[in-house]
């Protein structure tokens, strides 16, 4: 019986070897045309982090935050505290902020991204939080003389049936351990500050 098994294994091996030898080699990928090569190079350039991304990454860290909110520009602000952890993500291409604080006496948390788009040449800011089901997106520029990023976008106002409210966000770099974020709304043609967050790096 063992002899039969040995012969069967040998026969199977003899049959398999020629078949394996005849298996075609893996085909090489087709060469790209000049146009395709140029397209690949353009996308590689667009996806590579640069000086703007390195500059934003300086805000990475853990921060204590003083939060001021104005319901009425003529009234004193509501003052509360919060904390934020900011991290450079995707190889330094974007900056993510995880924020925790309070709003109207209730726990509040939000997530925001800030970055620079190599293709459009614009900075962007996005935000979502536990106080909304929407996503806020704004775009802007950097003023190196003032060390200030300015973003503009529109917010859908839940109290006004979703009417769009112009928003201007100002992010000012004080130094490596401090920066300030201000938010302005324009209503009835008048702009007013509605929020200010003062960030201090935790040691």
The CATH number linked to 151 is 2.40.128.20
Instruction: Say which residue, 60 or 38, is predicted with more confidence.
Output: 60
pLDDT at position 2? 42
Residue 170 lies in a domain: yes
Res. 170: pLDDT tops 90: yes
Q: Average pLDDT over the chain, rounded to whole?
A: 89
Residue 121 lies in a domain: yes
pLDDT at position 23? 55
Residue 58 lies in a domain: yes
Its domain, for residue 116, covers 51-201
Residue 39 lies in a domain: no
DSSP per-residue letters across 104-151? TTEEEEEEEEEEEETTTTEEEEEEEETT-SS-EEEEEEEETTTTEEEE
Instruction: Sort residue 59 into left (φ over 0), alpha (ψ -120 to 50) or beta.
Output: alpha
Residue 190 lies in a domain: yes
**pLDDT class of 27 with cuts at 50, 70, 90:** confident
Distances in Å between the Cα of 27 and the Cα atoms of 21, 34, 54, 126 are 16, 21, 41, 44
Residue 38 lies in a domain: no
Residue 3 lies in a domain: no
Task: Give how far the C-alpha of residue 41 lies from the chain's centroid of Cα atoms, to the nearest Å.
Answer: 23
| Across 21-40, average pLDDT | 76
User: CB pairs under 8 A, 24+ apart, for 189-193?
Assistant: 192/70, 192/73, 193/70, 193/73
Res. 169: pLDDT tops 90: yes
| Across 3-21, average pLDDT | 44
Residue 113 lies in a domain: yes
Find out whether 189 and 177 touch, Cβ atoms under 8 Å.
no
Query: CA–CA separation, 107 vs 196, rounded Å?
Result: 18
pLDDT in tens, 49-85: 999 999 999 999 999 999 999 998 889 999 999 999 9
Reported pTM = 0.81
Domains in the chain: how many in total?
1
């Amino acid at each position: 019986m063992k002899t039969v098994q040995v012969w069967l294994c040998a026969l199977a091996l003899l049959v398999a070897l020629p078949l394996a030898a005849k298996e075609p080699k893996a085909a090489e990928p087709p060469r790209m045309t000049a146009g395709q090569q140029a397209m690949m190079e353009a996308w590689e350039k667009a996806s590579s982090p640069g000086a703007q991304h390195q500059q934003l990454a300086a805000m990475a860290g853990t921060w204590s935050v003083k939060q001021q909110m104005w319901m009425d520009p003529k009234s004193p602000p509501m003052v509360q505290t919060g904390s934020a952890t900011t991290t450079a993500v995707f190889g330094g291409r974007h900056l993510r902020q995880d924020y925790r604080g309070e709003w109207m006496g209730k726990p509040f948390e939000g997530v925001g991204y800030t970055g620079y788009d190599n293709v459009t040449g614009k900075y962007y800011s996005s935000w979502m939080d536990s106080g909304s089901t929407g996503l806020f997106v704004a775009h802007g520029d950097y003023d190196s003389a003032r060390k200030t990023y300015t973003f503009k976008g529109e917010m859908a106002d839940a109290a006004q049936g979703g009417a769009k409210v112009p928003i201007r966000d100002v992010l000012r770099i004080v130094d490596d351990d401090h920066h300030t974020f201000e938010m302005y709304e324009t209503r009835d043609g008048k702009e007013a500050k509605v929020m200010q967050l003062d960030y201090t790096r935790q040691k």
